[in-house]
A and B are shown apart, each in its own frame.
Chain A
């Protein structure tokens, strides 16, 4: 037994190390090569080429404004929502939970597209509507701008910020606030002098994670930024490998290096802050109810804000896509529009071999990829939580590393690797890339699942006369199932909608849903895009609903009294 355990961690370190370190090393080597064919000859040519590009300064400025702006939007909104939800008497609190999980169901690319459909200057529905009503000459709002990008990306990163802030706010010791009140501080003064400062590490953590997310974001910069000729680093990298006469992977790697370094630095900062915030915010052991702040007259206006936000986040994108999939071309909803509706785009998509292939590929990657990814995660989490040695510390850091991987950059790294193997241009290349990039999303729920299985639960089974196998079958596995299932669903939904990595690794024959949608967007085939998009949302939603049902199924027994 002891021997097998001591072998497990090194084997896992090799596997996870390959998955996470290999693309980084290949990226480094690639950046010092002239092209995919001349790997290994050291040259600074590509760095010089990439970093003396006169356009780069403007791109970096755009990136900084975009990343900081969208993170500020996401964190600010999340903070408002979390505060209203946990600490005030705002009505219809269930809406907040929905807002926080919805973007898991709506893929980022579709969300971005739906905003283009609403607000693009030539035929965006809202713009058309405003032009008709107000008799304007030009479009009222132009989504193809830095502001448009910031707003849409901010909404997309909102749930991540929410998920970090919500537990911090919930575990906040209200006595800290109460003592401020006793000392004579008003509600507002308490909020700004006590509540927010105490939550500062959590707020910063949410902000930094949003930074990492928006730095890696490809959907918004490509769908909204590129038509408006606003380039950020992610689209700049994409441009150097996907357009022009020859794809320049060396230059892409050279630029990718600085994105990756920035991202890794931010993630380690995030990790430091979250360990800090655990020290900072104390969960009081007494059962307490946080004092609910009465909003009085502000109650319904504030709820109005939340209501509009949930409308914007949930209802509008799906509605716009569905509408666009049915009308022949962009037009404001009217009697005429409704009379012209047909299933034309749907039928076209179903008869389009590439769309069907991408649908099949994505479902395959979602199901098989998530199964393999979760199997690996079970072993990794077991080694981290239960074996506990110096080696398992290394394993934890390795499996956390890919959390900072910007998909497009790591895709370029993998490209340098796969082109040298028979895996190139196969679906397995995508599969390996997916698992490497999204491993933390499987490891994390399983780590907490393993932590829940207290060693006493296994030991008492042994004392009751059960051997190792029976203990595994009757105690450990049943207790892990909720974690396994939710991890699987999380991975599967992410794989089904994967865009940033696929856009680099996907070749003819290995198209996936998000890439196909991206192609439709580039070609302006909005009707077909919307039809395929609705199918994609349907697949993701089915998976999420399944997850919720499984969660409910295991809930009553799981709660510890």
Chain B
């Protein structure tokens, strides 16, 4: 089911100040995709999710789920949470401590008044799906974090909703379990015909899990796209900076050359892939991700997008070396392979592919 959000705003009043949690949000979440709302804490992503599920009401605007309007201030429509027929996994899992696994998972079916036999079958089927077969009689809170997470998922899925919502469901797991659970979740969700809306502040989670990502900041949706679009082709400084570590360099656009946009900055002249939006003389920000800075030991002959400098520091972190290089007085964050022979103090040169040089407005 498609979710349409039109002109939704939500303001909070706190100690005399107005906080715009959601500021005129317009968003269409496509059907049967994993859609992620990504942003720093306090950006409004959780508020938006809670408005979709009906736990909070926006101040204005309309929300439509699968063609049915569930909220409209203007037309006085409010479908209460319990009648929206959605599934949701909470950050705390919200496993009811006084019930066993079976009753936790059966609850949505019980509230719908299904026959006992059918409930038992569907709970068993769902538990099998999340690989918790035979856990029915366990007290739910006696399970491990990962298992509790799957109980919460089973409960959200058991009534076969057309939309499932996730509010940072992995943030309570430790790093290794989080990675495994993320993969499982991706596998579960791609097996189902379901629209998943996922809220997180973790960029790796967002990129690895989603079909579509919407990056939010201060109550606005800054940019929407596939993970690759967001990573490679973002046009917003905030998004580029939030989605990965980036060197942000002030630059001025000079005359184009051979289908490339060329900028002048502290490094010298840098050729970037064609950016239609910018004309000669525009002040822009050049974004260089450390993973695209290809280092080589020693000096190099002058050529397009080749720069030389001195390695200030290089720290071995296991899977890579991380450190800084200074070129023409400008310090850049760099990353290189763990078997590299470059050390701090060395002279080194690097190249960047114009395709990986992103320009955004200043």
Contact = CB atoms under 8 A, between A and B. Distances in A.
A454 B108 CA distance: 19
Interface of A: 454, 456-457, 459-467, 470, 474-475, 478-479, 554, 556-561
Given A463-B87, A466-B111, A557-B98, 17 more contacts: A454-B92, A457-B96, A459-B81, A459-B90, A459-B94, A460-B88, A462-B82, A463-B82, A464-B155, A464-B159, A465-B111, A465-B112, A554-B98, A556-B139, A558-B97, A559-B97, A559-B141
Interface string B21-43: 00000000000000000000000
Contacts of A459: 55, 81, 90, 94
Interface stretch (B142-150, B210-218, B338-346): B142-150
The 7 A-B residue pairs with the shortest CB-CB distance, nearest first, are: A456-B94, A460-B94, A464-B108, A462-B81, A465-B111, A463-B88, A456-B90
B135 interface: no
Q: Chain A interface secondary structure, helix, strand, loop or mixed? A: helix
A465 B159 contact: yes
B36 to A, nearest CB: 19
A415 B96 CA distance: 48
A479 B90 contact: no
Contacts of B144: 561
Contacts of B112: 465
B242 interface: no
Nearest to A458: B94
Interface string B77-100: 000111111111011111011110
Contacts of B83: 465
B107 interface: yes
B263 interface: no
Interface of B: 53-55, 80-88, 90-94, 96-99, 107-108, 111-112, 139, 141-145, 148, 152, 155-156, 159
Contacts of B148: 561
Question: A470, A559, A560: which has the most chain B beta carbons within 10 Å?
Answer: A560
B55 A462 contact: yes
A462 B98 CA distance: 17
A463 B88 CA distance: 7
29 contacts: A456-B92, A456-B93, A459-B55, A459-B90, A460-B90, A461-B96, A462-B80, A462-B81, A462-B82, A463-B55, A463-B156, A464-B108, A464-B159, A465-B82, A465-B85, A465-B108, A465-B111, A465-B159, A466-B82, A466-B107, A467-B80, A475-B96, A557-B98, A557-B139, A558-B97, A559-B141, A560-B141, A561-B144, A561-B148
A454 B81 CA distance: 18
A433 B231 CA distance: 69
Nearest to A481: B98
Given A462-B55, A463-B53, A470-B111, A560 B97 contact: yes
Given A463-B53, A465-B108, A457 B94 contact: yes
Contact of A479 (B85, B86, B98): B98
